[in-house]
Amino acid sequence: GAGVSQSPSNKVTEKGKDVELRCDPISGHTALYWYRQSLGQGLEFLIYFQGNSAPDKSGLPSDRFSAERTGGSVSTLTIQRTQQEDSAVYLCASSFDRGLAQPQHFGDGTRLSIL
């Protein structure tokens, strides 16, 4: 079916506001990942969900960042009290399972700008 879908594609908000970013993975994919990409940089891992297991939150930069995955499908990444350094493209990816050689399928990202 369709690929990974992310919304919104762009978000501009004022410093201090909370934002929610949404990711709809490929149907049937049990693994879901969030990454952050700053301008001209590589991808920084944020959080990883696999099935019903506890998520790997080791990449979240601060307690202002949190993520949920409801029903093993859609995920939301929430950033509270946004700061200017949170400005980046937030990318979501999914893979069929946690197999070692599974490629990750990416959405086009949400470009977040904090004024």
Which stretches of the chain bind another protein, using CB under 8 A?
Answer: 4, 31, 33, 35, 41-43, 45, 48, 50, 56, 91, 93, 95, 97-109
CB of 74 to another protein, least distance (A): 17
b/e per residue, 38-63, with b = 16+ CB within 10 A?
Answer: eeeeeeeebbbbbeeeebeeeebeee
Least CB distance to another protein at residue 98 (A): 5
Q: Which residues have C-beta within 8 Å of that of residue 96, sequence separation ≥ 6?
A: 28, 29, 30, 31, 102
Cβ closer to another protein: 48 or 65?
Answer: 48
Strand pairing of 110-114 and 10-13? parallel
Nearer Cβ to another protein (37/80): 37
Rounded least distance, CB 47 to another protein, Å: 10
